[in-house]
Amino acid sequence: SSLLLKIHIRIHIHIRNATPTFKSKRSNAAANMNINRETLLRSAQSLCNDFANKEPLEKVLKNFSSSKEDKIVCFEHGLNHPSVPFLGREFRGREGAREYFELIASLLSYESMRFIEYFVDVENLAVSVQGDATFTWLGTKESWDEVFTYRLRFDADGKVTRYEVWADSLAAYLASTGQLGTK
């Protein structure tokens, strides 16, 4: 019993005093770009607030990179299907981002959108955020409450280069086909 305690104490001390033996390949890149946690958080909040507040599309698009337009990707995870054409396909470049948001606006409306938890990853120039809202499929008027996650990647200026969404793609599909029922 005392031998196990000594071993446990030694292991615990060794682990607490250990120094990391590897570094992320991105850690130096992020440090050299003069971008910090606050900048990434403000940039993510700007995009999320603009979208939640239904700001004009041009204002939403100002959150996306202009120096790396060819790197911009909008992607909503899910099975690509004609009923939900924004799922499972990449929208590339600034014009692709425009097409994505125009498509969303033509098919869905939303109310009470809010963003709750932001997780900032300075080394990878990324922010993940959880949100919720009530969505309505315009063609069928079917609505559902949803919790979703965004993963945003940024350039050195704090502008979005990658916009990924994980949401309830089954609810969107069922609402699009009139099979969801009303809430």
Write out pLDDT tens, residues 110-166.
999 999 999 999 999 999 999 999 999 999 999 999 999 999 999 999 999 999 999
What is the predicted pLDDT for the residue at 168? 95
pTM of the model: 0.80
Residue 143's contacts (CB-CB under 8 Å, 6 or more residues apart) are 134, 135, 136, 137, 175, 182, 183
What is the predicted pLDDT for the residue at 33? 58
User: In the structure encoding, which two tokens stand for residue 179, read together?
Assistant: 């099979």
Task: State the burial class of residue 63 (Cβ atoms within 10 Å of its Cβ: 0-12, 13-18, 19+).
Answer: buried
User: In the structure encoding, which two tokens stand for residue 173, read together?
Assistant: 């599909």
Write out pLDDT tens, residues 3-31.
444 444 444 444 344 433 334 444 444 44
What is the rounded distance in angstroms from the CA atom of residue 37 to the CA atom of residue 85? 34
What is the rounded distance in angstroms from the CA atom of residue 129 to the CA atom of residue 33? 23
Which of 69, 87, 86, 67 minimizes the C-alpha distance to 77?
A: 87
Write out pLDDT tens, residues 76-122.
999 999 999 999 999 999 999 999 999 999 999 999 999 999 999 99
- 74, β-bridge pairs: 91, 163
- SS3 at position 100: helix
